[in-house]
Structure 1
Amino acid sequence: MNILLSKKSPVILLIISCILIISSCSRGSSDKNIKEEKFPLENDSVVVKEVIKEPEYIIRYRLDSLVNEKQIDSFSTRYSYEERKLIFALNRLDPTRLQLGMNLLIPDTLFDDINKYSPFPEELDILDSIPKAVLISQRIQGFALYAKGRLVKWGPVSSGKQSTPTPNGLHYGNYKAKKKISTVNPDWLLPYYFNFMNFEGVGVHQYSLPGYPASHACVRLRLEDSQFIYDWANQWELDKTGQKIERNGTPFIVFGEYDYTNPVPWQKLGRDAKSNHLTKEERETLIQYSREFMKNKKNFEDPMEQEEFLVSN
């Protein structure tokens, strides 16, 4: 019996080995299949949300005629102080100048922020290389302040009357004074004066706005606007002798032509809400002045900055 089992043992061992090998291969194959099996991801794609640009809100305007005292009283009671202040600014008018027979431009929506009514664009790439710039449009009697091409503030002006117009051109902020006596009339006190034509004595300052160009070449502003420019713009930098300009102040760019023969241009907004926007010709003029600015070494603290601009343009 033992002899018989001994003879059969190699065969039995061989059979057992084969069974174990087959079983092992089967498990290995199963494990391999599990490892290689790929399960689909629940979210295998990136969802890009569509950016919906809000439509441009266009403010509409109408003209309100003040033909009698009753309508003037109605105007004063219909609007709050801040609303009247905005309406007067849009009409380039001081409250004390309100008279019978006037036509006032009234927007259909009254915001607290006057920049929402700006005829100047929020971004002006023509000026993106200029740290600060003061634009004065004679055509629409308005100023705009830009910092590297972005609108900071705008407001109404009264530039020179037809016989003494404000000179157009690229000027620079020179000196300033909180109170200056006029060279035209010593009885005139000019608050928050900022000169941009030294020898001609031309600058911006606070003075009454009548709703049209009326100054002796200077540019009249509301008090709050003259204060803002006084603090915001830069003066010239002089050498030790005080006789030579080493660095220019903030550019004051005066451009455009006022039409003295037709009704005031802002009243056109009642028919065309974009009629006071910059024209193609005005943009070309600003491009020219911008290039002049970049060519003047007195506008740069770092000469490399000027060189980089000239090379790229």
Structure 2
Amino acid sequence: MLRIPRLSQLAAAALALAVTASGAAFATTQTSDGPASGRPAHAVASSSAGVDGAMRAALDALPKGDGRYTVAVEDLDGGNAAVYGAGTGAYDTASIVKVDILAALLLDAQDSGAPLTAKQKKLAAAMIRDSDNDATNALWKTIGETDGLDAANKRLGLKATHGDRDGHWGLTRTTAADQTVLLEAVLGDAHSPLTTHSQAYLRSLMTTVKADQRWGISAADGKGAAAKPPLKNGWLSRSATGLWDVNSIGRVEYGGHTLLVAVLSDGQHTYRQGVDLVERAAATAVKAFVKAETSDVLPKA
């Protein structure tokens, strides 16, 4: 089987994209460009074979909607990874940054040698399970806001995620590849700076989000409606445009494979339109990715 680097390395490659002021993009051979303003814009040197090409072809075949989106998928079992839409640049995190904020809080707790307080645990549960913004504001101050988040992200291996300089946590900018690096650290990577205890705590909260927030990457889980994968969604209506950012990150099981998935979108006219796009993109990408992994398309190692 063709092996490409784990997504932590792939994210570094995606970071090498040089996006000019006019929007032109140049990518490495391990990323696939996708839609910007609803139109495919393939990377100049993107791979056309294996999981990368299969995922790109499947997503390019979807109806072209409004706005833009990007998808990253990594197989924790097989070691393959692919990114679609890397050349479209960075996206607002909206509430998916709450996973990052809790990871930063847990790193601080590990450094101090003291567990989270009862109050911090209550706030963390509300932030992840309910996506409560007041709880997030409190923990955002605790971690040192933008500077604290950026410092934690250096330790977590994120290279293309940067906090908003005006201190708005929902306007943190990120890429799909970087979000999958975060998921590696949060959902059990052995090399994570987070302890196994911290990882288990984060995973438990992400697996028990409120029922009405179980949309998004869960649409790609092979268990269907019964699935309760660890995930976090984010949605934000931008006041300047009235258009929506809608994102989803997490881990799914499909066809015997354990996959990290991140879908980011912006420029959506409604929240519902964004949710539909994210779910359709996640399900399409995962299906194509796994089909390519398990077919004769990929050469044997």
TM-score class, shorter-chain normalisation, is under 0.3
Structure with a larger share of its residues in helix: 2
> What is the TM-score with the length of structure 1 in the denominator?
0.25
Q: Which protein has greater RCO, CA pairs closer than 8 Å, 6+ apart?
A: 2
Structure with a larger share of its residues in strand: 1
Q: Looking at CA atoms only, which structure, 1 or 2, has the larger radius of gyration? A: 1
